[in-house]
Amino acid sequence: MTDFTPEQDSDEDLYEHYTFTAEKGQQPLRIDKYLMNFIENATRNKIQAAAKNGSIYVNDVPVKSNYKVKPFDVIRVLFEHPPYENLLTPENISLNIVYEDNDLLVVNKEAGMVVHPGHGNYSGTLINALIYHFDNLPNNSSNRPGLVHRIDKDTSGLLVIAKNEETMTHLAKQFFDKTSEREYVAIVWGNMEEDEGTIEGNIGRHPKNRLQNTVFYGDDEDKGKPAVTHYKVLERLGYVTLVSCKLETGRTHQIRVHMKHLGHTLFNDERYGGEKILKGTTFTKYKQFVENCFKILPRQALHAKTLGFTHPKTGKFMRFDSEIPQDMQQCIEKWRHYVKHQEM
């Protein structure tokens, strides 16, 4: 939420930017406080200004910022202009293309690049770059050109992009049918108990912090969507572990959420608490060592290393592998040196 429009007489010419439905267990809470948990980069002042200008609706009625949200309230934020993520501007941004033919391309995305516009990131995204370099990319079900799947802003690694409708449909079905191959490498806090295993747990929006996802189980299982992650320990590095994660499903933040659920939050994953020292000693020297690691790797330690799929035209299975990026590699080396020093 970055700018606000004058009050409108009707919502006929307004565009929906956000919509939320309050959970059945929602306690009465001012709507300005409630929306701060839902909308990334929003301040309370901006939300209050939006309410004052008549841009926040509850059950299709404009409300002021002191309105108390109740269970099952349908909250919509409406403005005169379309959401910025729908106003795509081509930008001359270089892409690291590892493979390309007439039907698709595979790119190795660097950490820090947002995949598609939205939530305060309206330029400099992978899609801004794609529509500059390629004409007539097909839209996916969310009207995002070329995009078959996505990875988080601060996750690096491989993505496949469709160049035509047939390829988009074929690849999307592979991801849906779980026949594609996706392997990630991550550094997680703690020394994992098992050498390998499978995490199964339905993933959905966190009821109190909408910027996070969480695992739902038991009676709440239906609040999330099924998610399966297979993991294998690659290297034990004292108070952290290097792991391989293979995805069966592709839920938002899946590895980050599943690993936290297992008790092994990703190293320096700020959104999920991994930027704190979760394992180790209380020595000042150790604290300084970890903070130095955070400086080398100022993001969650996650890289989409391997990507495999069947080519829609040739029927051939293609597998692409990428190097672990330098920031993660340097962090791994520091932990190796630390463990070696501790063993001496």
Cα-Cα end-to-end distance for the chain? 54
Catalytic hit among 9, 11, 135, 152: 152
Tell me the β-bridge partners of 185: 244, 303
Give the number of other CB atoms < 10 A from CB of residue 192.
Answer: 21
Give dist(CA 145, CA 131) in Å, integer: 7
205, two tokens: 């929006």
- Encoded amino acid at 157, one letter: G
Cα–Cα distance measured from residue 195 to residue 272, given in angstroms and rounded to the nearest whole number: 23
- Best CA proximity match to 264, nearest among 254, 274, 253: 274
- 334 phi, psi to nearest 5 deg: -65, -40
Burial of residue 272 (CB within 10 Å: 0-12, 13-18, 19+) is buried
Residue type, 331: C
Residue 152 known to be catalytic: yes
Report how far Cα 168 is from the mean position of its chain's Cα atoms: 21
User: Would you name the residues annotated as active-site residues?
Assistant: 152
